[in-house]
Every structure is written in structure tokens, then in C-alpha cells.
Structure 1
């Protein structure tokens, strides 16, 4: 209940954004991330999602193992491909250390365009391993609530896409944020070290 209340309050703050200007490709905007919720599990959020196979899921279905989480969208030509590339780099480095019990979750910011079928095609095009990766579609409320909980700020860019912060988060088995990178400059070794620390607990 506490998590839901705080998430709703943070989400409401997005409404205060001024209307977005047309997207400037010369300086792909990386919006400053808000502070994520701390000391509470994201799995307490009551939002509902659908995975790339069209299966309805609750966030708590991810419970039980470390999860690397990001919010992006499939038609993004700016920061999103780098976010996914960083996640793949973490995946490969984790596998090299036999850290195979890790999930990777891509939550779309684009409720209108990123249908489960679109997400599945996106995963196939990029060779994302379905044994470790899940891509999720949610309605606008689900997106707002999760973005607020993760500290991800986003807004329409005026051209059908979104300006958004480039956060990649690591959740522990209980769904609590234990590490977060808030820009595109990801130190893979550092991130994998955090996963390794969870594996030793």
C-alpha cells in the first residue's frame, strides 16, 4: 500500500511537465532521473502487464531471482538501443562468470505502439534470449506507476516518441532496487559485480 501511494504521487508529478518540444536529434535528450523508491518492493505494485507472448503477468511473477530492469520503447532511435546493448553486455558478462540465474526485463514506455507482437519481433531481431529476457506491454497507468517506482522520467517528444531517462536497475529476489545506473555510461564489470554479490547472499 505504501509503495502504491508513493508511486501514484510521483507519477502525478509528471503532469506538471511543460509540453514537450519537437525532439532534437542533435542532442538526444537524457532526462534527469528522479529518485527511485527505496526500502520497498516493486512487486507490491498492483499494475498488470502482458509479455511478448501475450501472457498476462503481475510484477511479482519475477520474484525469486535477480532482475535487470529498464524502460524503453521499440521505435526509439536514440538512447534505447544503447540501453538494450548495455543490458546485453551485462548478460554476456554474467554468463562468463556462470551467473545464469538472472532475468532481464524490458518494460515499454509506449502503450499505444508496443503491442506484445511488436515486442516479440523486436526481441527476435536483436537476438534476445527468451530463456532470460521478457519484454512487457502495459497500459498508461501501469507505465506511470512503474516509471515512478524506478525513478524514470519520461514525456512525449512531439514526434510520436518519448524523451526519457536512461536508467538500468538491478532488483534483488524480493524486488527491491539494490543498484541503479542513471545514465548511458554503464560499467559492465561494476554491474556484474553487484549481481555476483546477490548470488553470494
Structure 2
């Protein structure tokens, strides 16, 4: 009887030990799947013009993840920081991640102006595209990306969001990040690397 009790006790301890090992393993490995950037909403479809005067639509990005920012070349407030961060990301993110800078001042930001702006920021034109178009088209893109902006005047500059968006290879928004916040930018890099390494949403 004593031996039977001893075997039962040993078995219970073995089960408990295995359970504890499972908990520890779960803490070590499970968070990766929990931290997968979730799908937030569909990204915008668009047909605009790039810095080379060429037609550029979201179809050019099919199967490619990208990050997007809304800026304008004469902006003196948040845009310099946003574009500087895009330049940094160009060098830090995997080559398959594209970068898109949408101009919210299309009347003044012609392809030629954007071409010079791209050169100033050492943009790799193979993956960093500066887009312009008519006012209604730009407004529609910003609206669909859930980043509204307000037109400026002689006395008031254009107001727009400081956020940078992460879009996956299926044209889905996977994250929005404040370009003025270091913690957000660190998270953007982590999420973009994850998305680039898991095409098609594969885990």
C-alpha cells in the first residue's frame, strides 16, 4: 500500500513538474505570436504621380509591405522630423519594405519639387516614392487612411497628422505610429521587420 501511495505521489509530482515546464516555455515562446501586429483596416487605393512625373498607384505596391507618411515640402513644423525618420528607416528596414511620402500640398509640390526634396533626403528612388496628385485625390487617400488634414491659408499652415502607417503586402494597415515619439518609432521598426519576414500573413 505504501509503495502504491509512493508511486501515486511521484506521478503527481511529475505531472506538476511538466505543467510548470509548460508554463515557463509558454512565457518564453508564446509572446511572439501575441505581439503580431493585428490588421486594423484596409489601406487606401490610389492613382497618383511620383517625383519622376510617372503614374504611380497602389497596384505598384502589390505584394510589398510599405510605410507611409503625409508631409509637404514647405512644412517647417513636424515634417522635417517625419522625413528624417523616413530616411533613417530607409537604411534600417529590410529592402523589400517600400516607403511612400504623400504630399498634402499638391498645388506647390509638383513632381519637380518632390524630385529635389527626395534628393535632399538621399532617397533611394527604387523604394522611396514621393507622390502628388490633385487635391481631391490626396484628400481621399488621407481619409481612407484615417488621417485627415486641414488646408492652410496665408495666415495658417496646413495641419496634418504626425503618424506613420505600416501597410502589409495585402494592402492592410497593420499599425500607426507617432513620428515624434521614440517609443512608437522603435515599435514601428519591430513591426515592419516582422511583417517583412512573414509575407502573406504567415507566422
TM-score range, shorter chain: 0.7 to 0.9
Q: How many residues align?
A: 158
Residue in structure 2 matched with residue 130 of structure 1 by the alignment: 125
CA distance in 2, matches of 1:104, 1:124: 15
The yes-or-no answer on 1:114 pairing with 2:109 is yes
Match for residue 197 of structure 2 among 185, 188, 200: 200
Higher relative contact order, chain-length normalized (CA < 8 Å, sep 6+)? 1
> Residues 40 and 175 of structure 2 are in contact (CA less than 8 Å); yes or no, is this contact kept in structure 1?
no
How many Å apart are 1:127 and its aligned residue? 1.2
CA distance in 2, matches of 1:140, 1:123: 21
How many Å apart are 1:183 and its aligned residue? 5.0
TM-score computed with the length of structure 2 as normaliser: 0.72
Residue in structure 1 matched with residue 163 of structure 2 by the alignment: 167
Q: Say which one has the larger Rg.
A: 2
Match for residue 153 of structure 1 among 148, 152, 160: 148
How many Å apart are 1:58 and its aligned residue? 1.8
Match for residue 185 of structure 1 among 181, 186, 201: 181
Residue in structure 2 matched with residue 85 of structure 1 by the alignment: 84
CA RMSD across the alignment: 1.8
**Structure 1 stretches (4+) deviating beyond 3 angstroms?**
none
How many Å apart are 1:153 and its aligned residue? 2.2
Q: Which moved more, 1:157-166 or 1:58-67?
A: 157-166
TM-score computed with the length of structure 1 as normaliser: 0.72
